[in-house]
Chain A
Amino acid sequence: MNLRMQYARPRKLDQATELLDALGTGAMVIAGGQELMPYLNYGRISPSIFMDISGLAELEGIEETAQGISIGALTVHRQIQINPVINSALPLLSFAAAQIGGGRQVHNRGTIGGNIVAMHALYDIAPALIALRAQIEVAGNQGLRTVPLTELLVETDHDLGTKTLLTRIVIPAMDPASGWAYEKLKITEGSYGSANAAAIVLRKPDGDLQVDLVVGAVAEQPVDLTGPLSERLRDNPDTDLDEQIDAVCQAVITDPISDQRGHAEYRKAMACVVAKRAVAAAIKKIKTS
């Protein structure tokens, strides 16, 4: 363990990626610190150097672009809750960010980038981001690349925050005609969910429903039920929607987690419950004009 931990605060993105590249292993990127500081306090991590990215202007701001709303990785949860652009184009994200545990202190300090990079099974907003088909911009020594968030989630050994930097999150604006909901089953106001679900529902011109549905806190990673559910709805158009969601949850959630919030069987059952609630609430919100 290196007892003399060092610190660097680059002021430009290319400086930051160059430095990460030069430092090799042992460097760790820190922004709000809400994920890393508890580990540091308890000696669970001992990076040789902390690279503080809070001075990088390229990672700030919320902009409307041709690809969608581009949110800087340093944007804190509180900004996502109250920013007018996000409120109107991505209301599901604003709402999900308000459900993040830990209280306002964490909302004021925790960043959307840090939340994504941490990839904690219980964290809020990942289900919403996946349902919203978010893309992430990653900067490394090879330059900038844009990938779907889901692609990152399958890489169990990603190098974000150690070799590369998450710079921005780009999310297509929601269809104003869609209904949306984020349901979280939790023990206390500020706690992690025992199960959560994000749903976006759109009524297609033919009257059928297009349902984007992602459940979280039930497996190591959020489970996207959209594809399997849409196949089921197509093949069994006359079956009750709740029954279809139940069937899809049962089929797709194959490896539920167990922790102090409940054992695997309970978690899977609750994931079914919040998934159905989220879809029902989203349908109610569909604008019928």
Chain B
Amino acid sequence: MAVDMQELVEDSVLLQCRVNETPCEEFIHPTTSLLDFLRENLLLTGTHMGCMTGHCGACTVMVDGSIVKSCITLAASVQRKKISTIEGLGEKESLHPVQAAFCEESGFQCAYCAPGMLLSTVELLNETPDPSDAEIRSALSGNLCRCTGYQSIVRAVRTAAKLYTADKETQE
């Protein structure tokens, strides 16, 4: 192999990114998933490991404001990007409006799916402040819940839409 080609190939990757506004710099193995990077390297265990096949959505996080499934995202591919996890959404004392709405409407039972449901809801409401039920169900189709039967989740998203809009207006 030509020398300049060899230089392109790395045994480990220096990953530089921002996670919940905090700059991170870590050497990682090239096959590390974003999920493992967050949970194992940064100890941010709020992002849940479900299926590792991209079906369940429990591992949903945001990359530059768009939701992705972190178990099927190569950590090396989020170089210099902004990652938001559930830990960055709200504080225990001051919940994010979407979190508050899910509490109010019992939008979870065991809550294993909750981190993913919440972040998917945030993306939906950022794009569609007043979604229809069909839009809510479509937006959450990448997140599976085995407890609620989804009715309370859809209700929670509807309430979240009201709270989120009100919250944004107050901030403006």
CB distance from A26 to the nearest CB of B (A): 12
B123 near A: Cβ within 8 Å? Answer: yes
Chain A residue contacts of B67, Cβ below 8 A: 104-105, 108
Question: A9-B76, A109-B73, A190-B141 are contacts. A22–B5 as well, Cβ < 8 Å?
Answer: yes
Of B5, B63, B139, B140, chain A has the most CB atoms within 10 Å of the CB of B5
Interface flags for A7-26 (1: CB within 8 Å of B; 0: not) read 11110000100110011000
Q: Can you report 11 residue pairs joining A to B where beta carbons are below 8 Å apart? A: A7-B10, A7-B76, A8-B9, A34-B54, A38-B72, A50-B31, A104-B124, A104-B141, A105-B60, A189-B137, A189-B141
CB distance from B83 to the nearest CB of A (A): 13
Interface flags for B140-161 (1: CB within 8 Å of A; 0: not) read 1111000000000000000000
B72 and A37: CB pair below 8 A?
yes
> Contact residue range for chain B?
35 or more
A38 and B142: CB pair below 8 A?
no
Which of B53, B69, B137 sits near A105, CB closer than 8 Å?
B69
B82 near A: Cβ within 8 Å? Answer: no
Question: A8-B9, A104-B120, A105-B120 are contacts. A188–B141 as well, Cβ < 8 Å?
Answer: yes
Chain B residue contacts of A10, Cβ below 8 A: 8
Seed contacts A102-B54, A104-B141; 10 additional CB < 8 Å A-B pairs: A5-B29, A8-B8, A9-B8, A22-B1, A33-B73, A37-B54, A49-B9, A103-B142, A108-B63, A108-B66
B68 and A109: CB pair below 8 A?
yes
B71 near A: Cβ within 8 Å? Answer: yes
B30 and A50: CB pair below 8 A?
yes
CB distance from A171 to the nearest CB of B (A): 25
- Smallest Cβ-Cβ distance to B134: which chain A residue: A189
B52 and A42: CB pair below 8 A?
yes
B74 and A19: CB pair below 8 A?
no
Binding site for B on A (CB under 8 A): 4-10, 15, 18-19, 22-23, 30, 33-34, 37-38, 40-42, 49-50, 52, 54, 78, 101-106, 108-109, 188-190
B33 and A104: CB pair below 8 A?
no
- Smallest Cβ-Cβ distance to B35: which chain A residue: A41
CB distance from B121 to the nearest CB of A (A): 11
Question: A37-B71, A52-B77, A78-B66 are contacts. A22–B2 as well, Cβ < 8 Å?
Answer: yes
A103 and B71: CB pair below 8 A?
no
A203 to B149, CA, bound (A): 46
Which of B8, B13, B53, B141 sits near A38, CB closer than 8 Å?
B53
- Smallest Cβ-Cβ distance to B55: which chain A residue: A102
B57 near A: Cβ within 8 Å? Answer: yes
B1 and A6: CB pair below 8 A?
no
A189 and B138: CB pair below 8 A?
yes
